[in-house]
């Protein structure tokens, strides 16, 4: 089965279209003000509206209020929600949309328990734990911490680049990989050449 790809932290329409042209399955739009990749609803709606069919739009939140999520859902098309904070399963599931739960992995993280706790999630997105940021850190975590048998599909994130993604896929065999900083020329500004190299490495 092929490994699917999400390009996250998209802030510009040209980057979204470049990602799709190179074969990305999904794009991620960040609705978290402290992030340098945060977009306004107007920005995100314009990007979402211009995408071709069969490309998933993922809206990323960190401990949002209901009002914040509903404001996005009211004003644009979203296929999947992604929760990157300390949200409970009930908080993630309350919008009636499929969702991903991001887990920031460190040495004592019980991923088996997380899979049971978030049974309603479509997948668990595994990212590096950092005290400095909740995501997009560019840091790789120890892939050996991922159990071989998980009750949920795995989306691997955290410091993936065109140089290491092939090894990551061979070791972890995730359902999908998620990249942001690894295909950027600056935070929030993607690099079409790096996207192409990343997709080639995944497909290779």
More confident residue, 93 or 136: 93
- What is the pLDDT averaged over residues 67-75? 98
Could you tell me which residues come within 8 angstroms of residue 189 by beta carbon, excluding any fewer than 6 positions away?
Answer: 11, 12, 15
**pLDDT tens per residue, range 18-38:** 999 999 999 999 999 999 999
pLDDT of residue 137: 65
| pLDDT of 1 higher than 80 | yes
At 149, the pLDDT band (50, 70, 90 cuts) reads confident
Catalytic residues: 8, 127
Q: Stretch 177-192: mean pLDDT, rounded?
A: 96
Comparing 135 with 188, the larger pLDDT belongs to 188
Q: Count the residues in the chain.
A: 204
Instruction: Write down the pLDDT at residue 122.
Output: 98
Taking 60 as the threshold, does the pLDDT of residue 90 lie above it?
Answer: yes
Say what the pLDDT of residue 32 is. 97
53-64 mean pLDDT: 98
> Is the confidence at residue 159, as pLDDT, over 60?
yes
**Averaged pLDDT for residues 149-170:** 96
On the question of pLDDT at 136 being above 60, the answer is no
Say if residue 135's pLDDT is above 60: no
User: Which whole number is the average pLDDT over 121-144?
Assistant: 82
Average pLDDT over residues 52-64: 98
Share of the chain above pLDDT 90, in %: 92
pTM: 0.95
Burial 7-45 (b: 16+ CB within 10 A, else e): bbbbbeeebbbbbbebbbbbbbbbbbeebebbbebebbb
- Confidence band for 110, pLDDT divided at 50, 70 and 90: very high
Q: Judging by beta carbons within 10 Å of its beta carbon (0-12, 13-18, 19+), is residue 105 exposed, middle or buried? A: buried
Mean pLDDT, rounded, for 2-25: 98
């Amino acid at each position: 089965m092929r490994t699917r790809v999400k390009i996250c932290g998209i802030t510009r329409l040209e980057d979204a279209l470049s990602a799709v042209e190179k074969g990305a399955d999904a794009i991620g739009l960040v609705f978290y003000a402290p992030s340098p990749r945060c977009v306004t609803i107007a920005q995100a709606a314009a990007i979402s509206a211009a995408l071709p069919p069969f490309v998933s739009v993922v809206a990323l939140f960190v401990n949002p209020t209901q009002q914040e999520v509903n404001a996005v859902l009211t004003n644009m098309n979203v296929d999947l929600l992604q929760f990157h904070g300390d949200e409970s399963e009930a908080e993630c599931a309350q919008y009636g949309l499929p969702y991903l739960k991001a887990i920031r992995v460190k040495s004592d993280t019980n991923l088996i328990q997380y899979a049971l706790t978030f049974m309603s999630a479509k997948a668990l997105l595994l990212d590096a734990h950092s005290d400095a940021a909740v995501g997009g850190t560019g840091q790789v975590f120890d892939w050996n911490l991922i159990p071989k048998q998980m009750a949920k599909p795995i989306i691997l994130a955290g410091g993936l680049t065109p140089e290491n993604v092939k090894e990551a896929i061979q070791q972890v065999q995730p359902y999908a990989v998620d990249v942001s900083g690894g295909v950027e020329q600056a935070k929030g500004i993607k690099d079409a050449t790096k996207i192409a190299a990343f997709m080639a490495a995944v497909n290779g």
